Structure formats: C-alpha cells, structure tokens
Structure 1
C-alpha cells in the first residue's frame, strides 16, 4: 500500500537494493550482498536489471543514489526499458462519478473541486497503490486505456476532447476535438510503441430529444508519419445502442456491446467498416461485457433462463470461426454464483480482462472479484484501503459507495507513441 509521487520519494522505503548502505557485517554473513561483488558490476548490466523492475520497485530504487534517480530522464535507459521491460497485466480503478456529474447538473465550484485519483492493483501480489493524477484538468473522466496511457474524455456534451495521460510520468497530450458533437460515446483506443488508433462511436448530438444518428470517427497516427485527425467517419449498423461506453481491441478490430437486443458490434480499422455479430443466448443475458484475454475476444454475462433445466449461471464465451461464432468455455461455480448474485443484488456488474485475469466490479459497491484463467481460481480481492473506509472486500460481504470503474492497465515508464504527435506528419 503505497502512494506514487515521482517528485518526492521517501528515502526510508524498504525492499530495495541499496548497494551503498550494505554494512561490512552483512557482507560477511551474506555473500550475496557483498559490496565487493556488486560494486564491480558494469553499470549497463545493473541498468538491465533495473529495467525489469515493476514501477513501484523502480520508484523505490530511485532513492538509492543520484544516478538511479536520474534513470527516468536517461534516453539510453528508457530505450533499453522499452525493449526489455516485461508486460505486466495490472488494473487501474477510479471512483465512479455521481449521476449528477454525468448529467452535467453540478455547479462550477463542484467541477473545479474534481480531483483524479487512481488505485493501481497488482493481481500477482494482491497489492494496492494510490496513484494521484494531478495533470488532468477538471471536467474530464477516464474513458479507456492502452499502452501505459489513460484516455480521459471531456464531460460536456458536444465535440469531445480527449487527453492521453501517463500517470507515472505526469504527462498529458491533448488530441484535437472530434468533428461531431456527441453525448455519451463509446471510446476505443489502442497504443503501441509506433502507433495510436482512437475510435469514437455513438450518437451525433443534434438534440437530447432527437432521433439517434449513430456514427463513428477515428484518429490515427503511426511511425511512418501518417495521420488522420478525425477525418475518417463511418455509419454504424441500424438499430444500435452503445451504452457501455467501452471497446476492446483484438487483431486489428474494435469490439463493443450493442443493447436492445444484445449483440456485438465489430469495427475493422483498416477497412473502416462496422458490422454486427449475434450474441450467444442473447434473450437470456444480463450485464454482458466484452473483455480481451490473451488475444481473444471473450463475452462474459449472467444467464437467467426461466426453464428449470437451464440453471442460472455466469458464463464465458470465446469468439471464433473468423469472428462470427461463440464457444462457451467456462462457468462460475454454482455456490460462488449464488454468493456473487447475493452481493450484486440485481444492480448489475462490469468485467475487464487483462492477460490471464478478469475483474468483476459491482455497480454501487467497492467489492471486486478476480478470476484467473490459468489457475481457474476465483477470489474476492482485498479491499482497496484508499476508498472510503475499505468495507466490502475479501469476504464478499457488505460493500458500499458509488462503485469502482476499472481499466486494464500496463504501467510504463515510457510511452514513445506520444512523441509521434509532436513530429511533422503527412495526412492521408
């Protein structure tokens, strides 16, 4: 349980490699920490070891000496880090904004007092970290994430402004406003070292009382110097209702849930084309969510069918057959499902996948359930100590608050793709 603060890191933190403070007695009793060995290691080799540290350990290690403190500003180290740092599937949580904020029915004073604070969770260690995000102005809400960046979207109805933020570096990059005004669009983003793709899809806001005119527009920039500033638009299939606000990206396509009735919308980035994919058991689904796990599109939903021979359950389906068919591959154990539904209480839930993990967040509750595809294990994760009084966690009981909004997140000390936005570009 720690608080990241890049500008002021405590020198008294523990669990770091401190080569300068090893006592002589420790050198005798523990040959692995013998300063005569460690002091002769080449600096480049030490840098390679540091590049493998997870961000919390890296920021602790920066307090060892001036050189390690300056690694965050070393071009040579960051280039090495980009190529060597292993992928770490973590999750970043935010407190849900109140419904009043979503409807923009709040005063200017309340808007200015809005602060952004994330809660980073390591599913491997079960550890929480507070992550202040001070560089994003008020009036923006987290909407998506990819490649170490959090995408914040402006709350006001109208043309949407998007901000890409790396909370570890406290850096922000603002994209140009969308060409069309929108109300509550769905946001999709994928970021690699040499590419940024963003899709905004939803209602073209003519009037809050007008018939919906659904369309999408996209932003693209890559290492070859090409970019498209919301210049590529595309209509969505008829009878669409994008309510989740979320998209997942798999193999060159964005996927999002469509409601009333349930189906899945797929968007091919290269072909600029949308289409519908029929959802499995669409008449009996409740709280369906799309997640990405190990390069697969997975649909997670509760199944509630009136017939007695089809028990209520929570199921996982994988999209196969060229992106047109679903195959069920996992179900929540019956006893756990009963307990989960008791805690959920009909309020609904959301799912987010990352690596081999899937996180379940319950509307109006701070409780979080974690599933591991590899171990087939389920667990209520420890309650976040930074949210309220921390009630409602590990035992699956209680829980309150406005609930948590979760994003798949990979902590990164460098996001090279952001530099593409500052280079001379060639439009399509």
Structure 2
C-alpha cells in the first residue's frame, strides 16, 4: 500500500476489526506507528461508535462459564471470551467497548475490561457493606458504566436502596461512583421511590454525561448526572401508551436517548432531539405483522439510524429502517438455560484502555 498516502491508509485501517488491526501492526514499523498514533485511535473510535453491535452471554448451564458472542451488522457473528479474568463473572453493564463485570464467586468484586483488547481493571474494594439484600443477592440494584472516549476516562455506578438487617428499605438510595482518574469511589445519598425490573436495570444508556435508566413502571427516565452527582427525572413522550400489552424500552440512537414502544402489531420509536428541553420527536412506526409469532419475545437492545438489533429467547434479529427488512443474525443451536434477551447488551468495538 506504499502508493497510498498515509491519510488514505488510516481511513482503511480505521475500518478493520480490532483483532485484525493488532495483526497488521506487526507488518512493518510504519504501519505500527500509524496504528498506534493518538490521532488514529481517536479516528478509529469515532468510526466505531457509529456501528453499534449486540453482545450476548451464552451459557450451557448455571455452573459453566459463559461465552460471549458479538453480532455485527457488517461482519456477522464473532466470539469473545472473558477467560483472561480468570474467574466466573456476570456482565452487568456495557459502554463504548468496555464491560463492567461482577464476580460470581466473590460478591462485591467488580472488573472493568475490554473484551477485544483483553485488558482488565480490578476495581478497588469499597468500605461499604452490600447495598441491597434483594436479587441479585449482595449486589447493587443498579449497575452503570459510563465510558467517555473523548475524555479518556470511565465511571462505574453502583446504586441501591439502604436496608438494615431485618427491616424493609426506607427509600434511602445510596450511590457509589468509581472514577478512573482518581482510582477511588465517592458516595452520596438521596431518596428514590422508583422500582426497576430486570430488563430496565439491564438497559442503561450513557449520553450527555449522564447514565439513564427506565423505571420499572415505564413511566419516566431516571438520570444520574456524573458531573454534579445529581439524580433527575425525564418525562417520556406524551404519545407513549402504558399497559394494554405495550412494552417500553430505553436505548441510544446516534448519541441521543431513544424510546421504543412495542405492541402486538406496531413498533414505535421516539428520539430525544433536545436533551435539556426534553423535546421528543417521533422517528418511525413499523408494522410487526411479518414477525407476528415472535412479537411477544422480542426485546430491542441496540440501534442506529440504519438498523435496530433484537434478542428473543433463542434468536438475534436485525431490522433495517430503510429497506424495512428483517434478518436473522444468530440462532441458539442448543438448550441455553436463559433467554438471549436476559443477558444481551449494546456493544461497540473500540480501542480503549481501562488501565
């Protein structure tokens, strides 16, 4: 490729999978230098965030270590392993190429890792006792990961209701925030009366410097501003209908909050175009008649302006907005113990060091 200028070579390299990129760095010193430059890393990540994927934990049994599959609309299905953590873990959150995992054997032990580069960070122990005695036992109700690619830092959030032994929660909400810049935890206490289902805890979205969760009643969005440690509540679109078989999901769409509502026959999508004035725009309305048999088990996980990924009990589907076509990307060939949507996360393949 000596006849191409470096600018063109960089644009080509920036579209390779991370694993392939590591291989080409061994071709020659010049390519190693190009692929290691800070400008190239920034370019690579800017392109990568425009190609969200779907990451799913696949487990043969409760006792076995889960394997990971990554479903990419451009490159298909690839496999990841978290064996470099040297312990069984549960993926609790995903953001911009990093995963936050909790140890299954050692309650309260958390890791942040990049499964593509196989780098890991063991988070320092906290002095706090377990935040909650609810499911999952000994862990926080909410676990969030915020990876800021431009600031080269990440935060982990553990939040849960305070409960003394033998008593019901009193509404006091304890929040612990890990800051990668200081390698320390900070704490603040507030009051929350919101409850969260498993799916709502699992779908956490990081945009505008804040982490966002949809409450269990699907009536509003709870946002944590990481700059000033303040919780705020964001209203959903006025057109969102609760109950009557409607299901509501919170996702990201090209850097914006997005809400998807699924009924028996329709999928409706809204995007929060103006974050601070809470101005929602209706983005699309899709008929679900062609997948009628799967409607009750589909869960939207990740989306862009081009497509949206869904997980069902045993399948991963993708819907393309422009062509209005559905495609099966992956299907479980054995008897997986849990539905795929139970452990599915939005994912991106980025070059980001968690150390």
**After TM superposition, is the score higher than 0.5?**
yes
Cα 1:381–1:60 change in 2 (3 A) is: farther
Distance 1:263 1:297, change over 3 A: same
User: Which residue does the alignment assign to 1:51?
Assistant: 13
Instruction: Give the Cα–Cα distance (whole angstroms) in 1 for the partners of residues 325 and 174 of structure 2.
Output: 39
**In 2, distance between residues paired with 1:181 and 1:141?**
17
Shift of 1:209: 7.0
For residues 324 and 381 of structure 1, the distance between their equivalents in structure 2, rounded to whole angstroms, comes to 35
In 1, distance between residues paired with 2:26 and 2:288?
55
How many pairs align? 333
1:133 aligns with 2:82: yes
Q: Which residue is 1:293 aligned to?
A: 253
- Indicate the structure whose relative CO is greater, using CA pairs within 8 Å and at least 6 residues apart: 2
Matching of residues 50-129 of structure 1 within 5 Å = 51-55=13-17, 58=20, 62=24, 66-68=26-28, 77-85=36-44, 86-88=46-48, 89-95=51-57, 101=62, 110=63, 114-125=64-75, 127-129=76-78
> When the two structures are superposed, what TM-score results if normalisation uses the length of structure 1?
0.66
TM-fit CA distance, 1:132: 2.4
Give the Å deviation of 1:333.
Answer: 1.3
The answer (yes or no) to whether the contact 2:54–2:347 under 8 Å persists in 1 is: yes
Q: Counterparts of 1:408-423 in structure 2 under 5 Å?
A: 408-412=346-350, 414-416=351-353, 418-419=354-355
2:270 is the counterpart of 1:317? yes
Correspondence for 2:344: 406
Whether the 8 Å contact between 1:221 and 1:228 is mirrored in structure 2 is yes
Gap regions ≥5 residues in structure 2: 132-138
The whole-number CA distance in structure 2 between the counterparts of 1:139 and 1:354 is 32
Q: Secondary structure at the match of 2:67?
A: strand
Q: In the aligned structure 2, how far is the partner of 1:184 from the partner of 1:96?
A: 23
SS at match of 1:163: strand
CA contact (8 A) 1:95 1:402 kept: no
Supply the distance in 2 between the matched residues of 1:56 and 1:83 (Cα, whole angstroms). 14
User: Larger Rg: 1 or 2?
Assistant: 1
Q: Report the counterpart of residue 252 of structure 1 in structure 2.
A: 209
TM-score, normalised with respect to structure 2: 0.77
- How far apart are the structure 1 equivalents of 2:140 and 2:208? 26
Contact 2:161-2:169 at 8 Å conserved across structures: no
Q: Which residue of 2 aligns with 1:388?
A: 333
Secondary structure of the residue aligned to 2:144 is strand
What is the CA–CA distance in structure 1 between the aligned matches of 2:78 and 2:4, rounded to whole Å? 32
2:288 counterpart of 1:357: no
Aligned-residue offset at 1:130: 1.7
C-alpha displacement of 1:94: 2.3
Structure 1 gap ranges (5+): 1-37, 102-109, 305-311, 390-398, 420-428
The answer to whether structure 1 residue 190 and structure 2 residue 137 are counterparts is: no
Structure-2 residue corresponding to 1:343: 294
Q: Deviations over 1:177-221 (max 9, x none)?
A: 343413352222222252212222233464597336433221223
Alignment root-mean-square deviation, CA = 3.6
- Change in Cα spacing, 1:268 to 1:66, as seen in structure 2 (3 Å) is closer
1:356 Cα offset (Å)? 4.0
